[in-house]
Amino acid sequence: MKPRTPRAIALVAIAAVLIVGGGAYALASSGASGSSGGSISAGAARTTFPGLVAPSGQPELESIGKAHPRPGEVVQAAGPFDDRFLLENLAFDGAAVSGAVRVTSDVSAVLDLEVVAGFYDDTGALLGTGRFVHHLVDDGSHSGAPEELVTFTIAVPSGIAVPAVSVALGVPVLVNE
C-alpha cells in the first residue's frame, strides 16, 4: 500500500467539503430547516449588535445647530459627504432657500439626496429646520448622461414667530450609482 501524498489528502478533503456543503444546501432549500414558520428564510443570516439601537426619525446634522450664520448669509454646514458635492446658486428670500447640489465625486445618477436647512434669526439663534428629499424614480428609461445636478427649494417652517434672516445648509444623505 502506497503512503498518501499531501495532494491526494487535499483532494479528498475538498471532495468531502463539497459533498457535505451540497447536502446542507439541498436540505435548507427543501424547506426542511426545522424552523417553526419564522419569516426569515433558512439561508438568511441573523445578525444582532448588542447595544446598537436602530435609527429613528430623519437623518440630522449636528453642525446645523452650530453654524450661526450672519444676517443675509446662506452657509454650508459640515456633513459626511462634503467632499462629494458642491452647493450652487444659493438664494434666500426670507420665505425659502433655493439652490442646487452638484455631485462631483463621479459621473452617475443621484439616487437619494436630502438637504437640511437650518433657519436663523438676526441674533444667530436657530429657529427651525426644513428638508428637501430627492428619490430617483426608476422608470427603466436611461438615455444620455446621468443628471448630477439636483435643484431644491426649502420653505421656512410655518409657525416661526420671528423672521428668519439667514440659513445653514447641509447634506446628511447622498447616494449615487
Residue 99's domain comprises 63-138+146-176
Cα atoms in the 13 Å half-sphere on the side-chain side of 59: 14
Determine, yes or no, domain membership for 68.
Answer: yes
Q: Which residues pair with 120 in a beta bridge?
A: 126, 166
Say if residue 131's pLDDT is above 90: yes
Determine, yes or no, domain membership for 72.
Answer: yes
Determine, yes or no, domain membership for 122.
Answer: yes
DSSP 45: P
Determine, yes or no, domain membership for 165.
Answer: yes
Looking up residue 74, the CATH number of its domain turns out to be 2.60.40
Say if residue 40's pLDDT is above 60: no
Say if residue 153's pLDDT is above 90: yes
All three cell numbers of 146? 446621468
Higher pLDDT, 27 or 126: 126
CA-nearest of 175, 172, 173 to 77 is 172
Q: What is the pLDDT of residue 35?
A: 47
Give the C-alpha separation, 85 to 169, whole Å: 13
Determine, yes or no, domain membership for 98.
Answer: yes
Determine, yes or no, domain membership for 118.
Answer: yes
Give the C-alpha separation, 165 to 44, whole Å: 52
How many folded domains does the chain comprise? 1
Determine, yes or no, domain membership for 52.
Answer: no
Say if residue 64's pLDDT is above 50: yes
Determine, yes or no, domain membership for 152.
Answer: yes
Q: Which helix (H) or strand (E) holds 17?
A: helix 6-29
CA 174 to each of CA 43, 44, 88: distance values in angstroms, whole numbers, following the listed order? 31, 28, 16
